[in-house]
């Protein structure tokens, strides 16, 4: 598609949200709803995607726009489904399922994962049982209830980012940690990718696997940036 606009701007709405303007006209989501976001920081991020387009528009480059549209078009209409999906990740959280203590990988998991799990428990008032080997243990009912309450407090934009973060890391613990100020996306992604990185250290990287890892890490970082902009104040 040819570029059809010259000026990209950001402005407030009457309701206190923010919107993107192309040649003075507000844009809509892919399903036709007004594309209004909660912060000027997030609106500026979306504007940046439009500003960097050349003579030809690259649809694949609108990662943040697509995440905002998903929040508005999908999550806002059915928050319960998204929250249920995220709770599901907590039941099988990668960081709570360790190798057998006799396995050398166990020590690496303890080093990278235990501080994150402990921090999550302390900050959010949770109890997250750790298990080793192939035995599965569901989270206690009170933990599930507390997680549901935490997620209900998030708006649809943070939930959209959290869904991506959690899916990429297979860990709600990592997803929640990524929402915190000062969170290190590289360190968090490395923690979630601990097992693959461990195997690569032992046997070497396959070029396609390494490329896929880089792409997942980039997607993780962009989702984290989206979440932080959605939570920005001022």
Taking the C-alpha atoms of residue 233 and residue 228, their distance in angstroms, rounded to an integer, is 10
pLDDT digits (tens, 9 = 90+) for 193-211: 999 999 888 888 788 988 9
- Asked if residues 117 and 130 have their Cβ atoms less than 8 Å apart, the reply is yes
What is the pTM for the complete model shown? 0.94
- Asked if residues 147 and 65 have their Cβ atoms less than 8 Å apart, the reply is no
Taking the C-alpha atoms of residue 39 and residue 36, their distance in angstroms, rounded to an integer, is 9
- Asked if residues 217 and 189 have their Cβ atoms less than 8 Å apart, the reply is yes
Taking the C-alpha atoms of residue 1 and residue 116, their distance in angstroms, rounded to an integer, is 44
From first to last of its 234 residues, what are the pLDDT tens digits of the chain?
A: 999 999 999 999 999 999 999 999 999 999 999 999 999 999 999 999 999 999 999 999 999 999 999 999 999 999 999 999 999 999 889 999 999 999 999 999 999 999 999 999 999 999 999 998 766 667 889 999 999 999 999 999 999 999 999 999 999 999 999 999 999 999 999 999 999 999 888 888 788 988 999 999 999 999 999 999 999 985
Count the neighbouring beta carbons within 10 Å of the beta carbon of residue 4.
9
């Amino acid at each position: 598609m040819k570029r059809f606009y010259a000026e990209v701007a950001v402005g407030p709405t009457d309701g206190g949200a923010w919107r993107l303007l192309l040649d003075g006209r507000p844009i809509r989501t892919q399903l036709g709803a007004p594309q209004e976001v909660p912060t000027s920081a997030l609106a500026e991020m979306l504007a940046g995607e439009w500003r960097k387009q050349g003579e030809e528009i690259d649809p694949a480059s609108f990662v943040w726009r697509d995440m905002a549209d998903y929040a508005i078009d999908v999550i806002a209409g059915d928050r319960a489904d998204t929250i249920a999906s995220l709770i599901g990740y907590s039941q099988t959280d990668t960081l709570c399922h360790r190798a057998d203590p006799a396995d050398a990988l166990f020590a690496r998991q303890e080093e990278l994962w235990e501080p994150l799990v402990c921090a999550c428990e302390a900050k959010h008032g949770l109890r997250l049982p750790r298990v080793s080997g192939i035995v599965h243990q569901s989270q206690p009912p009170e933990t599930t209830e507390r997680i549901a309450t935490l997620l209900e407090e998030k708006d649809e934009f943070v939930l959209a980012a959290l869904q991506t973060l959690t899916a990429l890391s297979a860990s709600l613990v990592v997803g929640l940690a990524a929402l915190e100020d000062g969170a290190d996306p590289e360190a968090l992604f490395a923690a979630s990718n601990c097992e693959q990185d461990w195997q690569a250290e032992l046997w070497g990287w396959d070029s396609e696997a390494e490329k896929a890892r880089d792409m997942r890490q980039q997607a993780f970082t962009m989702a984290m940036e989206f979440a932080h902009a959605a939570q920005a104040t001022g």
